[in-house]
Structure 1
Amino acid sequence: MTGFLRRTFMGGSVLATVSPARADTRPKKQLTWIVPFPQDSSADLYAQQVAKSIGEKLGQPIVIDRRTGAGGTLAATLFTRAANDDHTFMVAYTGLTYASVIYPKGGAGFDFARDFVAVSALAREPLVLVINPRIIDANDLQHFLSAARSASTPIAVGSDGEGTISHLAINLLTERTNIKFRHVPYPGTAAQLDALVATSAGAAFLPPHSVTAAVANGKLRALAVAARRRDVVLNGVPTFGEAGLDDFRVSQWFGIMALKQTSQSALDRMHAAIQAALETKEVKDIWARHGARVELESRTDFARFVASEVSRWTRIAKAANIKLE
């Protein structure tokens, strides 16, 4: 694929043995992962680390092809046109599961459920609801919801952009509580965090690692983590379930997808290699520093999770009538 920015990870010379009958498990051609985000983004970080480990295990480099723009839909559209050779995969994320809804008809250029098959999760970053205590006087989630219900005007809740998962998290909270909020979009997580600290918005859904310092110095207050388990970097913050709102889960997840026509042997080989990489100490340490979770699971379990995400966020996006150019 010409035109992509490339980085190659050189693998070691020792090959992993999958079974005694197959001593050489190296793919016959170059492996490529398409990443729809720029270098140094979360998606790129996770892809780099796992690709490095896999390259060392397989004795063959994985090429990272970056294609940014349009919330990842450009890369996903190009991926659908890739050669069906069992050697090209894509790093997908939550936002692509409902892209066909929020872009004009045909604008996304792909159908997530129709065109792709799930291979393996890479990382999940749960979102945490934080408030600026100088604007909203609430010590916990229930006090926040009570304040929002009684407010004369809807509380302003920021997101990192129209149609992002933090935007849809606001709509999910409205659906679950029947409380209206005023959505305030910002161009990215950093801008959203700056605005929240500067009192331009009262609350926001953000990744835990991005708010750790602001929570520690009292500029922000973390109310609840949208996950089953508490977060490692904000361990003192309850989950939504613990705070009184059951089954409220929102995460920015990243995972490897393949084209539907990819052979089962290629899918199994890539899944096994990723699972092995996720168990390495280096990957676990890096994920922990970024508040990401390592999820070891079968391809069937990951596919079930992806299908549930497509169904849930497509419904939320349709109900909110979110449309992007």
Structure 2
Amino acid sequence: MPHAPLSLPRRALLLAALLPSPAVHAQEAWPTRTVRLIVPYAAGGFADTRARKIADALGKVLGQPVIVDNRGGAGGVTGTDVIAKATDGHTFGFGSPAPLVTNPMLMKKMPYDAEKAFKPIILIEEAPLFLTIAPNQSFKSVKELVDFARANPGKLSYGSSGVGGAHHLSAELLAYDTRTEMTHVPYKGGALAATDLMGGHLAFMFEMGYAALPSIQAGKIRALAVSSKKRLKVLPDVPTLDEAGIKGFESYNWLGMIAPASTPDAVIARLNQAVNEALKQSDIRQMIEGSGGIVAGGTPEAYGKFIAQERAKWGPIIKNAKITLE
């Protein structure tokens, strides 16, 4: 028996059900032109090398060019402010601890509200730090270093790339957890501090893997421990700080991708999917893991929760040590 023809309202409803929703359409249509990826640090550094590799992979996945735009200055704040104020729908950037978590605690004035100005896209990498010591130091373990620090308040000196950075705060976390007093010597860059460490002018230093590994492997410095939750494949014999007796110790100089708060959720989802896909590529995984990093990935929600946990973690450390950038 033939079916009765559909009325116009029923035809319209059926057609609407068959067509993609506006959100799906927006997700499929985006991007419509070149995507700009802001790196809030100078060219050639840790964040920049990651960004350029990932930008190339993203361009292939998204079907549009992805260009890296370096906007260094003010500990990452200058470039991160560019991300916060972008309104073109095609500008995003790298998020890291200083401009998103610690600088808002260290600076009296910020050009953006770090908790409201952005949407998280994805955590890309967790980069742990190695606790390294000078070759002229006799410490054979973290316990020996901590025992000396307890018996000699202020006599152990450690270097950093500057006040409030991952090198500095990792050492402050160690001092906080062990209830010890150590002397901070800030430098204008991690390389300068590392040089003085190798020369025996500093007792120890927390260093990122990409910078420390060549010197460790060459015997110029020694690694007592690493700040990750698990041991790293690049140096499997180096224990974690948790294994070394500092229970629960973790510290990372992480990288993720963030978007202006006005970015549609469909675009966030598209970028998240694209970066997760890029992080599966062997060359990108080798770039991260080969320098002591940990490949992350995951959902925007997981990255947002991670950032919130970082704020809760570092706030008491900064307050206890009375650290400021003013």
**Which band: TM-score by shorter chain?**
0.7 to 0.9
Q: CA separation in 2, counterparts of 1:152 and 1:164? A: 23
Greater gyration radius: 2
Identity of aligned residues (%): 29
Deviation track 1:27-73 (CA, whole Å, cap 9, x = no partner) reads: 12431111111111111111111111110112100121211111111
Q: Which residue of 2 aligns with 1:76?
A: 80
Please identify, of 205-214 and 136-145, the stretch whose mean Cα deviation from structure 2 is larger. 205-214
Q: CA separation in 1, counterparts of 2:205 and 2:295? A: 25
Unaligned runs of 5+ in 1: 1-20
CA gap 1:78/1:220 in 2 versus in 1, 3 angstroms: same
Are residue 89 (structure 1) and residue 92 (structure 2) matched?
A: yes
Q: Which residue of 2 aligns with 1:287?
A: 288
Listed as ranges, the matches of 1:2-81 within 5 Å are: 25-81=29-85
Unaligned runs of 5+ in 2: 1-23
CA gap 1:282/1:215 in 2 versus in 1, 3 angstroms: closer
> How high is the TM-score relative to the length of structure 1?
0.87
Contact 2:275 2:297 in 1 (8 A): no
Q: Which residue of 2 aligns with 1:224?
A: 225
Q: CA separation in 2, counterparts of 1:214 and 1:280? A: 28
Measure how far apart 1:25 and its partner are. 4.7
Contact 1:130 1:206 in 2 (8 A): yes
Please identify, of 220-229 and 270-279, the stretch whose mean Cα deviation from structure 2 is larger. 220-229
Q: CA separation in 2, counterparts of 1:189 and 1:27? A: 38
Indicate the SS of the match to 1:297: coil
Q: Which residue of 1 aligns with 2:279?
A: 278
Are residue 235 (structure 1) and residue 236 (structure 2) matched?
A: yes
Q: What amino acid sits opposite 2:111 in the alignment?
A: G
Measure how far apart 1:154 and its partner are. 2.6
Q: CA separation in 1, counterparts of 2:154 and 2:126? A: 34
Q: CA separation in 1, counterparts of 2:256 and 2:169? A: 20
Measure how far apart 1:257 and its partner are. 0.7
CA gap 1:50/1:216 in 2 versus in 1, 3 angstroms: closer
Q: Which residue of 1 aligns with 2:188?
A: 187
Two-structure CA RMSD over aligned residues (Å): 1.8
Number of residue equivalences: 301
Q: CA separation in 2, counterparts of 1:313 and 1:289? A: 27
Q: Which residue of 1 aligns with 2:118?
A: 116
Measure how far apart 1:24 and its partner are. 5.2
Q: What amino acid sits opposite 2:120 in the alignment?
A: A
Q: Which residue of 1 aligns with 2:10?
A: none
Q: CA separation in 2, counterparts of 1:220 and 1:270? A: 40
Deviation track 1:223-253 (CA, whole Å, cap 9, x = no partner) reads: 1111111122222100111111111111111
Q: Which residue of 2 aligns with 1:128?
A: 130
Q: CA separation in 2, counterparts of 1:258 and 1:213? A: 35
Q: CA separation in 1, counterparts of 2:67 and 2:46? A: 17
Q: Would you tell me which structure has more helix in proportion to its own residues? A: 2
> How high is the TM-score relative to the length of structure 2?
0.87
Indicate the SS of the match to 1:47: helix
Please identify, of 28-37 and 262-271, the stretch whose mean Cα deviation from structure 2 is larger. 28-37
Deviation track 1:170-225 (CA, whole Å, cap 9, x = no partner) reads: 21111101001000111112111101001111000001232223323433221111
Deviation track 1:88-138 (CA, whole Å, cap 9, x = no partner) reads: 21211111212112122x2x212211211211112221011111141x321
Measure how far apart 1:320 and its partner are. 2.1
Q: What amino acid sits opposite 2:235 in the alignment?
A: L
Q: What amino acid sits opposite 1:102 in the alignment?
A: L
Q: Which residue of 2 aligns with 1:265?
A: 266
Q: What amino acid sits opposite 2:259 in the alignment?
A: A
Where has structure 1 moved over 4 Å in runs of 4 or more?
21-26
Q: What amino acid sits opposite 1:54 in the alignment?
A: L
Q: Which residue of 2 aligns with 1:214?
A: 215
CA gap 1:58/1:141 in 2 versus in 1, 3 angstroms: same
Q: What amino acid sits opposite 2:114 in the alignment?
A: F
CA gap 1:279/1:318 in 2 versus in 1, 3 angstroms: same
Indicate the SS of the match to 2:295: coil
Q: CA separation in 1, counterparts of 2:53 and 2:188? A: 27
